[in-house]
Structure 1
Amino acid sequence: MTWWDSLAELLSSPLMQRALVAAVLVGAAAPVVGTFLVQRRLALMGDGIGHVALTGVAVGWLVGSWAAASPADAFAVPGAVVAAVVGSVVIELVRERGRTSGDLALAIMFYGGIAGGVLLIKVAGGTNANLMSYLFGSIATVSTADLWWTVALAALVLTVGVGLRWVLFAVSHDEEFARASGLPVRLVSMTVATLAALTVTIAMRVVGLLLVSALMIVPVAVAQLYARSFGRTMALASGLGVVVSIVGLTLTWWNDVPPGATIVVLAIAVYAVGALVRPLVHRHRQEDDPHPEMSDDVLVPATAGEDCPPATAPPRR
């Protein structure tokens, strides 16, 4: 069989068609939200939400068993959405009020969420295979219903994340400046937290709850090596997320390897190569730039369509 025949067989498989669509949506949406989390120095927030989402999955399993639903995990995704959103809002409130550090709140969510999820899934009659598919992803579990959930939630995340990116960035970059500017800081912060929660739930079938944070953060880290503005960082990170998701998922068609782990390893490999190549690119840019000491982000864009600078940038005169 030639590689062309193998590719045609891959694209004709209903299972892979669903998985590829889900991978594209997750790869595009996750880095968009990750860009805001990196700005807020909450890169590990996705991990905490992922652990809490596992409890929501388990509660969905319990509801499905009581309702004799078919399949048994029919309520897993709705349960994960509710639990993830509630958990993200709680951690944002704790962080905002300053009663305890964000790291401590994340640690509590880590341990309580994962322990509760494992326990409840066992009580609901789930198996280790079911548990592993949610923790590390499994393309075999992407059903038509899961795909529709992924499409709807990814569309919401991309619409809000891209459409309100400058408002979300202003609050993520400097809350005090945003508050002084009259922006609804609490509402915007809750929006970022909710977007992170929704991203975790749509990605759990592809990369798994334990690895979704990597897909949210690593493409952003790669983009920051080369992009000179927030808008370009987001666009490049989203594109990288799509590429590594498709390539990683395609590799699992020919090799019996976990898709989530493969996608994350590919993303980290891209980061390693990008970090090695960056000095060469940076040197070339300095030769072409008459003022290399000045960042392109220090000027306010003349039109609304251009990239927005940091909130602390001086106005153009």
Structure 2
Amino acid sequence: MSDMITTLAFYMRFPFVRYALIVGVLIALCSSLLGVTLVLKRFSYIGDGLSHVAFGAMAVAAVLNLTNDTLLVMPVTVVAAILLLRTGQNTKIHGDAAIAMLSVGSLAVGYLLLNLFSTSTNINGDVCGTLFGSTSILTLTTAEVWLCVAASVVVIFIYVFFYNKIFAVTFDENFATATGMKAERYNLLIAVVTAVIIVLAMNLVGSLLISALVIFPALSAMQVIKNFKGVVICSAVISVLCALFGILASILFSTPVGSTIVAADIVVFVVMAVIGKCVAGR
């Protein structure tokens, strides 16, 4: 145990480790906040769809040799979120079908572009890193950290400021509309904020594992807590602790960061599910 503490103390002297912890905590916090709403609205799979769109945009950025791919990935993913929301209201193309179409199409086109036009000598390694977030969280620049901090602050501010509105459209959108609330606007706000979180989270867990970061903490909290505010707070705590544990464990044992964080989330979900059943059985 003392050896592990000594090793962690040694690594904490390096800026890239501190950057990873800061970004990991912020992304986990933001993901857990929106995750509760997405799960309750049965739209949690939007994270997976938007992450594949972000992968396609990153492929285009790589082909164009952009030094900062976020400038392209962020707006493209936000536009995709808006399109998903609009298309999901189309009676001919339901929400789940729209997500599937955009998800599979973006993933396929992105990988195709990388193979046809990329100048990288290790395409498979680049794709694996993007999909699973193997090392990108440990190679963040100062500018990327500040961008993540600024975006996270905006997301948290929006969630807190519009908390009552988000609560209303989460549980009863029809009633919220009947009371005069512009439910479509707040659904659009949720979609845009989700897109921002997805882009930020790609550096942490990769595009294929983002859904887990959004869904597992919320589902874990719902096993033992039955009120919305309590679930949001518990989900945030679980998400942050799992992110911290995953990053530190990956540094100590040389495991993939994203996979380790998701594994921690799975363990917590199983434990919370057991606790929930024990409490319910009394």
TM-score normalised per structure 2: 0.93
Q: Secondary structure at 1:4's aligned position in 2?
A: helix
Partner of 1:162: 160
Partner of 2:104: 111
Partner of 2:7: 6
Identify the range of structure 1 (244-253 vs 130-139) with the bigger mean alpha-carbon deviation: 130-139
User: AA paired with 1:21?
Assistant: I
Contact 2:224–2:275 (Cα < 8 Å) also in 1: no
Q: Find 1:129's aligned residue among 105, 125, 135.
A: 125
User: How far is the alpha carbon of 1:118 from its aligned partner?
Assistant: 1.3
The whole-number CA distance in structure 2 between the counterparts of 1:142 and 1:261 is 18
User: How far is the alpha carbon of 1:156 from its aligned partner?
Assistant: 1.5
User: How far is the alpha carbon of 1:217 from its aligned partner?
Assistant: 0.6
1:5-154 equivalences in 2 (<5 Å): 5-63=6-64, 65=65, 74-122=67-115, 123-126=117-120, 127-137=123-133, 138=135, 139-154=137-152
The whole-number CA distance in structure 2 between the counterparts of 1:14 and 1:151 is 16
User: How far is the alpha carbon of 1:283 from its aligned partner?
Assistant: 4.8
The whole-number CA distance in structure 1 between the counterparts of 2:91 and 2:177 is 17
Partner of 1:201: 199
**Superposition RMSD in Å:** 1.6
Partner of 1:259: 257
The whole-number CA distance in structure 2 between the counterparts of 1:153 and 1:165 is 18
Gaps of 5+ in 2: none
Contact 1:31–1:237 (Cα < 8 Å) also in 2: yes
The whole-number CA distance in structure 1 between the counterparts of 2:265 and 2:84 is 28
Write out per-residue CA displacement over residues 210-251 of structure 1, whole angstroms, 9 at most, x where no aligned residue: 111111010000111122211111111011110000000101
User: How far is the alpha carbon of 1:151 from its aligned partner?
Assistant: 1.1
User: How far is the alpha carbon of 1:43 from its aligned partner?
Assistant: 1.3
Partner of 1:310: none
Q: Which has the larger radius of gyration?
A: 1
Contact 2:8–2:252 (Cα < 8 Å) also in 1: no
Q: Secondary structure at 1:2's aligned position in 2?
A: helix
Write out per-residue CA displacement over residues 258-281 of structure 1, whole angstroms, 9 at most, x where no aligned residue: 110110111011101111122223
User: AA paired with 2:118?
Assistant: A
Structure ranking higher in helix proportion: 2
Contact 1:32–1:238 (Cα < 8 Å) also in 2: yes
Contact 2:54–2:76 (Cα < 8 Å) also in 1: yes
Partner of 2:267: 269
Partner of 1:311: none
The whole-number CA distance in structure 1 between the counterparts of 2:36 and 2:61 is 30
The whole-number CA distance in structure 1 between the counterparts of 2:276 and 2:248 is 28
Write out per-residue CA displacement over residues 118-137 of structure 1, whole angstroms, 9 at most, x where no aligned residue: 12333232422222222111
Gaps of 5+ in 1: 66-72, 285-317
